[in-house]
Amino acid sequence: MSAISISGSTGLRASRPAVQPRLRITRRGRAVLTVLIAVPLAVAAIIGGAGAISANGTDAAGSTHYSYVTVHSGESLWQLAQEVAPKADPRDVVAEISNLNGLDSGVIQPGQRLAIPTRYGQ
């Protein structure tokens, strides 16, 4: 008769926890990441600044001139629009002043200087 031997091992290995490799960024990798972040920011700044108003009251292209008004205490954007353009629709004037001055809401503060297109006769 033949003897069958059974060993104590079932043939399965004990599982070990997986070891996660550590992320290492080289000098070149940091440079690439810096460029990938800086280039879109620089392009956005250049494009965003193209329509900005310069100190002399003209836009970057030099085609439109502006005058400036200072907001008085208790004055609203609606009142200002009616004052600078009495014959124009105040809604259009408010929208244009808001867009021109980058106002997100219709809230203005006393002492604030606002650019007004000279075509409104001020």
Per-residue confidence (pLDDT) for residue 103, from 0 to 100? 87
User: 66-120 falls under which CATH superfamily?
Assistant: LysM domain (3.10.350.10)
For all residues of the chain together, what is the average pLDDT?
A: 77
The reported pTM is 0.47
DSSP 7-48: -S--SPPPP-PPPPPPP---HHHHHHHHHHHHHHHHHHHHHH
Q: Tell me: the pLDDT tens digits for 89-102?
A: 999 999 888 888 88
3-state secondary structure of 62: coil
Q: Tell me: the pLDDT tens digits for 55-109?
A: 444 444 455 678 888 999 999 999 998 998 999 999 999 988 888 888 888 788 8
